[in-house]
Structures are given as structure tokens and as C-alpha cells.
Chains A and B, each alone.
Chain A
């Protein structure tokens, strides 16, 4: 932690960055995002096991970007998000410096995003045991049972869009759900409206979701929406040989080749 504060202070003092995005103590025993602009405020920076909030969601935010070059405290899920965002031209070395936090909670500064990409590729995106169990249970259901499961789980959703707001990949200035000409997704949070919204969101995240669970953690009603994303991630693994965010190259779900050996697409 001292190392992080020291480095943040140096970066701000030397004006290499305008803002350091990190975590601070929140209310109660919560933590929250902190945007340090003054070197004297670095003492507020913290890092511990509670810091799972995906800070990458802030680096596409207009008000934060406007501050100038950003440095960001980034755990592996945050780094994965950053690489994906860079692939989508949302951030670059020009406006972002990554202060990596290794799984052992050590500070690891990266020269550029290429180094970040190389580093994160050492770690496979693995679905943990408790989620594994839930996914297996869902897979074992009949289609009708699974349908009932999702209708019941999505029923409480009141469409506050906290899942979308917390997701680093949901940075669209205007989300599909906000369009009303035509109205693609019904606005009311009734059965159809909720189902269409969550399926649309899951599909827009195939091959982009990096499994950080920000959506499920943000949901005030604890709806396990990340199960949809995890299942799609598994499908990506199964049918396309794994998934890792990359900076350049052919990307899952956004690549089309006329000579594709599969013929269902033609």
C-alpha cells in the first residue's frame, strides 16, 4: 500500500498523470472509488481484499476522462477490462497508465498496454467452483425448467440499470434499451421487458465480458445475471478455443470471414 501511495504521489507531482483512480475507505466497512488529483491526497488510497469493484467502469466516463491522463489501480479483472476497452478504442497508452496489483497484492507498473496484455494472458479466465455448480445445475435442467428459473429470477428486476452502469463494457453513449424509434426493448419491467433486456445485454457481451461479476455485485436485488454471461463465456471456450481479451487481431463474435469453414453463417 505504501508503495502504491508513493508511486501515485510521484506520478501526480511529476505531472505524468492528472488523476490516479484507486480505492478508499467508504462508509461502514465498505470501500469505494477514489480519484486522486492532489499529491497530498494519496494517503487516502487503500488496497485490500474488499477492493473488488471494477474501476475500469470509470475510465470511459466523460467526467473522468476529461481530467487528462489517468493512472488506475488495476487488479487482474480490471486489467482484462482495460485490454478489451483498448481493443474497442476506448482507452490507449496516451490516456492511461496501469498500476497493476498482482494476485499477491504487489504493485506492478506496466510500461504500456502491450505489457498488460502479455501479463494477463498468463492467467486463464476460470469460473470458480460455486458458480461451476450453479451452471451445471442449470445445464441439467429441461428447457422448461430453465425457462421457469429465469422468469422467476428476473421477475424482481425493476430496471435500475445498475448492472449496465457497473459494467466496464457497457459504455455506449446510448444503449439499445434507450432507443425508442424503434423501441427495440420494452421499457416496462414486466416479464417480457425484463427478459429481453437481460438477454440483449448478455448477447452484447459475448466475447467481451471478462467475468468480473461487477453486474451481479451491483444489483440491489441480487439477481444472478452473471450466470448468463458465464454460460456464454463457457460456450466461447468450448466452440472457439478459449477467450482472452486482446489488443489487436481477430476477435470472437466481431470477426467475419467469407471463407469461414462453417456454413451456418452464410
Chain B
């Protein structure tokens, strides 16, 4: 469908939120201890409005950090398993996500539909409506424009709001049928068609590198000593992966109490030393440099090769969250500049 543009008054945003919460679960940016994450909320006043980027991505609404995939009961001679009923998944509105997170939905889709189709993920996504807010500000960690995005990118959003100047009204771009469904719920709020140029209200995010160049260089960069040198300071936690909108690795755990139990899917990270540890004791990624290399290679070489999509949206969260300043942008720029 072609993009329908409407104007929405700043006072009407809360009205829209209140209408949506009546029969949908809203995930919106909420602050705790100064860090912003997407949480289920029905209070508009608790929703953060001024932020460059949230600490955590919105992936948790479709890919929770801990998710029960089946329940089981053991008896003497049998085991009865009851898979998670996808019909229980509520209608969700993802409110206030940035265009880079919305773009990340496409990347997660590719991963969760690569060979087998992940039923739970797809069911959650089918019931999700994405309301994006374009960016009026950016910071030094942002690099969406280097990875195919931009601060007003409509890709992945069902509706994208752009604030028309500080404290002003919003331009609403109705991008998909799902977005039109939201308009139909609150037709009075979405006012007359509007044709303002949103570009002058968007943040300026300079292009820092060319990802095609990076991809080609990585083909010959695998054995470089650079990985070792750069990752000596990496302490091997999973913060980068867990705040990332496109990291989708998970671990399967069975938890049982007596004869009752559940199978649970939990986030996992290639930065953790146990990620590739074999039962034999052999670990193909024995040192941290191999794990950091995997992170970059996966996003900028393996994913484009296998899934025809890059695994990075330039949101900059990993750089902001890293306790030891492993800065992905800095490393990518240096890879671009290296002569091979």
C-alpha cells in the first residue's frame, strides 16, 4: 500500500495510547534506575518520551529472554508434553521504537524463518503492531545510515510518527494494513492528510562506513591478528548480545519439579565462553578473540551470505552497554580502512 500521511496533535498521543490499551498489550519504553527497557505498561505517564535510544531493544516482545515452549508431566511409563498454545498470545502494540529497532524485526524474521519456521516467534510477530517514532536526535554510537537505515526509515513500522519540531505535533505515516487498522480504531485522532516534509526534523547521522566493503574485506580478514589485539580488553560477558535488536541465539533448558516440568527457551550469547563448549571438553572458540570475531563475522559476513540480510541495524546499543568500551563502530571503521 502507498503511505498515507496524517497529522496527529501532540495532545492526542495519550488518547491514542488509552484507546490501544483497551484491547491490546502495550510494550513501551519504561525507565528503571535510569536505564530504559520495553515493558508492558498501561500508563502513558510511565512511558519515556525523551530518549535517543533505549538501553534494551524491543526484541523481547517477540523473543522473550525466557520463554516456556512446552510443559511436561512424567509418569512411570510415559511423558506427556503440552506445547505452548500460540493462541494464548495477546495482541501487542510495540510503542515508541526507533526505526533501527523496526528494521531489526526484518533481521529477526530472517533468522527465525531460515530453515524451520519458528511457530512461537512468528505467532507473536503476527499479533504485533509496530508504532515507530523517528529520531530527532542521535549520539556518537548511532550509525543506522551506514547499515541501510536512516532516522526516519519506515521499514518495519506499521505506523511511524515524526515529531514536527521540538514540542510540536506529529506526522503519522500509515505504512501497512496493520497501521491502517490502528487508524480505524481512532479515526478522529488521525486528522486530515498532511504532506509536510519530515526530513528537516530528523537527526543527522553521518555515514561512517560502507557495509559491502566490510563484507568483502571480512572474507580475507579471518586470520588477522587484529582480532586478538582488539579483543584483549573484552571481558566476555553477554551484554552486547542481550541489548542487540538482532541477536537471536538461544539455549534450551528443561526445568522440572518432581514429575512436572517445562522446557524453556533462554537468550544465549556467542560472547560467553561456554557457548561453543562441547561435551568432550573441546571448545572450538577457545579464546575471547575468536568469540568477538564470530560476533562481527556473523553480522557482516555470514548473515548477508546465508540470509541476504545484514545482522546489524546501527542502533549502537552494544557500544553503549559494553562495560569495557568494545566499540563496534570503531572496529568496523578500522576494518574498512585496513589494506589487505
Nearest Cβ distance between residue A25 and chain B, in whole angstroms? 10
- Shortest CB-to-CB span from A258 to chain B, Å, is 38
Tell me how far the C-beta of B46 lies from the nearest C-beta in chain A, rounded to whole angstroms.
15
Q: Give, as a whole number of angstroms, the nearest-CB distance from B224 to chain A.
A: 16
Please name all residues of chain A whose beta carbon is closer than 8 Å to the beta carbon of B272 when the two chains form the complex: 161
- Give the interface segment out of B33-41, B81-89, B148-156, B174-182: B33-41
Contact A62/B287 with A158-B267, A188-B253, A221-B33 known, Cβ cut-off 8 Å: yes
Give the shortest distance, in Å, between A56 (CB) and chain B (any CB).
Answer: 12
Judge if B189 is at the interface, Cβ distance under 8 Å.
Answer: no
Contact of B237 among A34, A35, A64, A218 (CB under 8 A): A218
Given contact pairs A27-B140, A161-B238, A188-B66, A217 touches B323 in the complex (Cβ within 8 A):
yes
Render A128-163 as a binary contact track against B, CB cut-off 8 A, 1 for contact.
000000000000000000000000000010111110
Which single member of A32, A35, A160 contacts B324 (CB below 8 Å)? A32
Taking the closest CB of chain B, its distance from the CB of A224, in whole angstroms, is 7
Contact with A along B266-295 (1 / 0, CB 8 A): 110100101000000000000111000000
Q: Name the A residues within 8 Å of B289 (CB-CB).
A: 63
Cβ of B73 within 8 Å of any chain A Cβ, yes or no, is no
How far apart are the CA atoms of A187 and B65 in the complex, in Å?
11
The total of chain B residues at the interface (CB under 8 A) is 42
Against B, the Cβ 8 Å flags (1 = close, 0 = not) of A184-214 are 0011111001000000000000000000000
Within 8 A of A (CB), among B209-239: 228, 232-233, 235-239
A162 and B241 CA atoms in complex are apart in Å by: 12
Residue with the highest number of chain A CB atoms closer than 10 Å, among B239, B269, B289 = B239
The answer to whether B266 and A188 have CB atoms under 8 Å apart is yes
Instruction: Collect the chain B residues with CB atoms within 8 Å of residue A28's CB.
Output: 140-141
Decide if A156 touches B37 in the complex (CB within 8 Å): yes
Judge whether B325 and A31 touch: CB under 8 Å: yes
A27, closest chain B residue (CB): B327
Tell me the dominant secondary structure on chain A's binding face.
loop
Is A220 close to B, CB under 8 A? yes
**Across the interface, do B327 and A164 meet the contact criterion of CB distance under 8 Å?**
no
| A57 part of interface (Cβ distance < 8 Å) | yes
Question: Which of A61, A161, A186, A220 meets B243, CB within 8 Å?
Answer: A220
Interface size class of A (residues with CB under 8 A): 35 or more
In whole angstroms, how far apart are the Cα atoms of A164 and B269 in the complex? 15
Q: A186–B325 contact, CB under 8 A?
A: no
| Distance A178 CA – B34 CA, assembled complex (angstroms) | 30
Selected contact of B264 from candidates A57, A61, A188, CB within 8 Å? A188
Kindly name the residue among B65, B264, B274 whose own CB sees the greatest number of chain A CB atoms within 10 A. B65
30 A-B residue pairings within 8 Å (CB atoms): A27-B319, A30-B325, A32-B324, A35-B232, A62-B287, A63-B232, A63-B288, A63-B289, A156-B32, A158-B242, A159-B238, A159-B266, A166-B235, A178-B274, A183-B253, A186-B255, A187-B251, A188-B253, A189-B267, A193-B66, A219-B323, A220-B35, A220-B55, A220-B242, A220-B243, A221-B32, A221-B33, A221-B35, A221-B55, A222-B32
Please provide the 9 A-B residue pairs with the shortest distance between their CB atoms, ordered closest to farther: A218-B323, A32-B325, A162-B237, A220-B321, A165-B235, A222-B33, A26-B325, A160-B238, A165-B237
